[in-house]
Amino acid sequence: MEHTKTREMEQMICDYTGAKYAHMITSATTGLLIASMVADIKQNERFAVSAYTQAATANGAILMGATPVIVDVDPSSYTIDFENIPDDCRVVFVTSINGRYPEDAQEQIAKLRTQGRFVIEEDRTSVG
């Protein structure tokens, strides 16, 4: 029964959002592990994560064998300081803090992506 209800809920999410696919997962940590797999994070690869976030933000990539590079925070939003992300970090985790997000976050993320970086971003619309 659970499997059927899960599939129904996933379809409802697709219908509501217009997404082609939706998959339920057990936790945010599992989701971040899957995102790390999609990013194809390699053993010992360095990735950027904010100094002020939940441990789960980095745990998925750590489970893949990657090494976190803790990036200082922007003093106004307390989120990752885009100016201090090391060049050798191909994967960057971007999260909001208590609903705070830099005003220029989307431009900064677009810039990272044009540099060939893989950005794993929290959906800030779901945050407080």
- The tens digit of pLDDT for each residue in 19-57 reads 999 999 988 889 999 999 999 999 999 999 999 998 889
Structure token pair of residue 95: 């999260």
Residue 67, CA atoms < 13 Å, CB-side half-sphere: 8
- The tens digit of pLDDT for each residue in 95-110 reads 988 888 888 889 999 9
Rounded mean pLDDT of 73-83? 92
Residue 96: its pLDDT value, please?
A: 87
Look up the pTM and report it: 0.84
Residue 128: its pLDDT value, please?
A: 40
- From CA 8, how far away is CA 6, in angstroms rounded? 5
- From CA 64, how far away is CA 33, in angstroms rounded? 8
| Whether the Cβ atoms of residue 112 and residue 88 lie closer than 8 Å to each other | no
Residue 29: its pLDDT value, please?
A: 87
Own/partner pairs, 71-77, CB within 8 angstroms, 24+ separation: 74/102, 76/102, 77/101, 77/102
- Strands 46-50 and 118-121 turn out to be unpaired
